[in-house]
Structure 1
Amino acid sequence: MVIKRYYIFQLISIFFVNLYINANYLVLTTRQLCDLELILNNGFAPLKTFMNQKDYESVILNMRLTDNTVWPIPIMLDVDQQTIKTLKDNNSRLILKHPEGHELALLEVNEIWKPNKEIEAINVYGTTNIEHPGVNYLLNSTKEYYISGKLTKIRLPKHYDFTDLRKTPEDLKSYFKEKGITKVVGFQTRNPMHKAHKELTSRAAQSTNAHLLIHPVVGQTKPGDVDHFTRVRCYKQLLKYYPQDSVTLSLLPISMRMAGPREALWHAIIRKNYGCTHFIIGRDHAGPGKDSSGKDFYGPYDAQNLVKQYEKEIGINILLFNEMVYSVDQNTYKPENEIESNEKILRISGTQLRQLLKEAKEIPGWFTYPEIAQELKKSYPPKFKQGFTIFFTGLPSSGKSTIANALAIKLSEIQNRLITVLDGDLIRNHLSKELGFSKEHRSINVQRVGFVANEITKNGGVAICALIAPYEQDRRYNRELITRGGYIEVYVSTPLNVCQERDEKGLYAKAKEGKIEMLTGISDPYESPKNPEITIDTSTLSVEECIEQIINHLKLEQYI
Structure 2
Amino acid sequence: MSNPPHGGVLKDLIARDAPIRDQLYTESETLKDIILTERQLCDLELIISGGFSPLEGFLTEKDYDGVVENLRLADGTLFPIPITLDVSKEEIETSQIKPGARITLRDFRDDVPLAILTVEDVYKPDKQKEAKHVFRGDPEHPAIRYLFNTAKEYYVGGKLQAINRLNHYDYVGLRNTPAELRSQFTKLGWSKVVAFQTRNPMHRAHRELTVRAARSRQANVLIHPVVGLTKPGDIDHFTRVRVYQAILPRYPNGLAYLSLLPLAMRMAGDREAVWHAIIRKNHGVTHFIVGRDHAGPGKNSKGVDFYGPYDAQTLVEKYRDELGIEVVPFQQMTYLPDKDEYAPKDTVPEGVKTLDISGTELRKRLKLGLPIPEWFSYPEVVKVLRESHPPRTQQGFTIFLTGYHNSGKDSVGRALQVTLNQQAGRSVSLLLGETVRAELSSELGFTREDRHKNIQRIAFVASELTRSGAAVIAAPIAPYESSRQVARETVEKAGGNFFLVHVATPLEHAEKTDRKGVYKRARNGEIKGFTGVDDPYEVPTKPDLTVDLTQISVRTAVHQIILHLEAEGFFGN
Report TM bin, short chain. Answer: 0.7 to 0.9
The partner residue of 2:245 within 232, 236, 245 is 236
- Over 3 Å counting, the alpha-carbon distance change for 1:13 and 1:278 in structure 2 is closer
After TM superposition, the score normalised by the length of structure 2 is 0.83
> Do the aligned partners of 1:496 and 1:521 also contact (CA within 8 Å) in 2?
no
Equivalents in 2 of 1:261, 1:508: separation in Å? 63
2:117 corresponds to 1:107: yes
Q: Which residue of 1 aligns with 2:10?
A: none
Which sits farther off after the overlay, 60-69 or 539-548?
A: 539-548
Contact 1:393-1:470 at 8 Å conserved across structures: no
Q: Does 1:544 align with 2:544?
A: no
What pairs with 1:264-343 in structure 2 (closer than 5 Å)?
264-343=273-352
Whole-Å Cα distance in 2 between the matches of residues 141 and 177 of structure 1? 42
1:153 matched residue in structure 2: 162
**Equivalenced residues, count:** 548
Q: State the Cα distance separating 1:522 from its structure 2 match.
A: 7.6
Q: Distance in 2 between matches of 1:208 and 1:262?
A: 25
* TM-superposition CA deviations, 1:118-156 (whole Å, max 9, x none): 5433333324343x4333433433344433434332211
Whether 2:352 is the aligned partner of 1:364: answer no
2:150 aligned with 1:123: no
Other-structure match for 2:5: none
**Looking at CA atoms only, which structure, 1 or 2, has the larger radius of gyration?**
2
Is 247-256 or 83-92 further displaced after alignment? 83-92
Cα deviations by residue, 1:219-270 (Å, 9 ceiling, x for unpaired): 2222332222222222122122222111111111112222222222211111
What is the DSSP-based 3-state SS (H/G/I as helix, E as strand, rest coil) of the residue aligned with 1:105?
strand
- Please give the per-residue CA displacement for 1:517-543, whole angstroms capped at 9, x wherever unaligned: 9x899888948444x433344564444
* 2:91 maps to amino acid: T
* 2:70 is equivalent to residue 62 of structure 1: yes
The residue aligned with 1:172 is 181
Counterpart residue type for residue 297 of structure 2 = P
The answer on 1:86 being equivalent to 2:98 is: no
Deviations 1:98-133 (A, max 9, x none): 413333223345544444545433333324343x43
Whole-angstrom distance in 1 between the partners of 2:144 and 2:19? 47
Q: Which stretch shows the higher mean deviation, 104-113 or 542-551?
A: 104-113
**Superposed CA offset, 1:363-400 (max 9, x none):** 12221112211222222223222222233456777665
SS in 1 for 2:240: helix
Equivalent residue in structure 2 for 1:482, among 491, 494, 501: 494
- 1:423 & 1:323 partners in 2: Cα distance? 52
Structure 1 residues 77 and 332: CA distance shift in structure 2, 3 A: same
Distance 1:101 1:71 in 2: 31
Query: 2:463, 2:491 within 8 Å by CA — same for their partners in 1?
Result: no
Q: Which amino acid aligns with 2:290?
A: I
Q: Which residue of 2 is the match for residue 96 of structure 1?
A: 106
1:202-213 equivalent positions in 2, closer than 5 A? 202-213=211-222
Distance in 2 (CA, whole Å) between partners of 1:144 and 1:525 is: 34
Instruction: Find out whether 1:77 has 2:109 as its counterpart.
Output: no
Q: Are 2:223 and 1:223 equivalent residues in the alignment?
A: no
- Change in Cα spacing, 1:347 to 1:9, as seen in structure 2 (3 Å) is closer
Deviation at 1:320, TM superposition (A): 0.8
1:92 deviation in Å? 6.6
Please, what is the CA RMSD of the aligned residues?
A: 3.7
Q: Does the 8 Å CA contact 2:115/2:164 hold for their aligned counterparts?
A: yes
The offset of 1:280, in angstroms, is 0.1
- Which is further off, 76-85 or 550-559? 76-85
Q: What SS does the corresponding residue of 1:346 show, helix, strand or coil?
A: coil
- Give the match for residue 4 of structure 2: none
Deviation at 1:93, TM superposition (A): 2.8
CA distance in 2, matches of 1:169, 1:198: 24
Give the Å deviation of 1:286.
1.6
SS, match of residue 218 in structure 1: coil
Letter of the aligned partner of 1:474 in structure 2? V
Counterpart position of 2:3:
none
For residue 557 of structure 1, report the CA deviation from its aligned partner: 2.0
Give the letter for the 1:315 counterpart: G
> What residue is the counterpart of 2:388 in the other structure?
379
Give deviations 1:294-322, integer Å, cap 9, x for gaps. Answer: 33222222221222111211221111123
The separation in 1 between residues aligned to 2:119 and 2:533, in whole angstroms, is 43
Q: 1:344 to 1:501 in 2, by over 3 A?
A: farther
Instruction: Report SS of the residue matched to 2:147.
Output: helix
Q: Give the superposition deviation at 1:506.
A: 5.8
Partner residue in 2 for 1:245:
254
Q: 1:354 to 1:157 in 2, by over 3 A?
A: farther
Q: Distance in 2 between matches of 1:424 and 1:242?
A: 55
Cα 1:24–1:63 shift into 2, 3 Å: same
Kindly provide the CA deviation profile for residues 166-192 of structure 1, in whole angstroms up to 9, marking residues without a partner as x.
Answer: 111110001112222111110011111
Q: For each residue in 1:425-461, what CA deviation from the matched residue of structure 2 results, as whole angstroms up to 9, or x when unmatched?
A: 6656666677788888877665554443332222222
Deviation at 1:510, TM superposition (A): 8.5
Task: Report the secondary structure of 2:365's partner residue.
Answer: helix
Q: What is the aligned partner in structure 1 of residue 568 from structure 2?
A: 557
* CA deviation string 1:2-24 (max 9, x = no partner): xxxxxx97775454233222523
Matches of 2:191 and 2:357, distance apart in 1: 35
CA drift of 1:158 comes to: 1.4
The verdict on how the C-alpha distance between 1:150 and 1:177 changes in structure 2, with shifts beyond 3 A counting, is: same
Secondary structure of the corresponding residue to residue 554 of structure 1: helix
More deviation, 242-251/446-455: 446-455
Distance 2:237 2:288 in 1: 22
Match of 1:256 among 259, 265, 286: 265
Distance across 1 between alignment mates of 2:70 and 2:441: 44
Match of 1:194 among 196, 199, 203: 203
How far apart are 1:279 and its partner, in Å? 0.1
- What corresponds to 1:3 in structure 2? none
Kindly state the Cα deviation for residue 544 of structure 1 after the two structures are TM-superposed. 3.2
Q: Distance in 1 between matches of 2:319 and 2:521?
A: 61
Segment drifting more, 412-421 vs 225-234: 412-421
Q: Distance in 1 between matches of 2:539 and 2:82?
A: 32
Alignment partner of 1:348 is 2:357 = yes
Distance between the aligned counterparts of 2:50 and 2:279, measured in 1?
A: 9
Q: CA deviation at 1:515?
A: 6.1
In structure 2, distance between residues paired with 1:351 and 1:507:
53
- The residue number in structure 1 matching 2:13 is none
What's the TM-score once normalised by structure 1's chain length? Answer: 0.85
Alignment partners' CA distance in 2, 1:413 and 1:190: 41
Residue 235 to residue 405, structure 1, CA distance change in 2 (3 Å): same
Larger deviation, residues 43-52 vs 497-506? 497-506
Farther-moved stretch of structure 1 (15-24 vs 534-543): 534-543
- Which residue does 2:6 correspond to in 1? none
Question: Do the aligned residues in 1 keep the contact of 2:31 with 2:102 (CA within 8 Å)?
Answer: no
Aligned to 1:5: none
CA distance in 2, matches of 1:260, 1:415: 47
- On the 8 A contact 1:326/1:332 being kept in 2, the answer is yes
Cα deviation per residue 1:23-52 (whole Å; 9 max; x = unaligned)? 2351x3322222221112111222222223
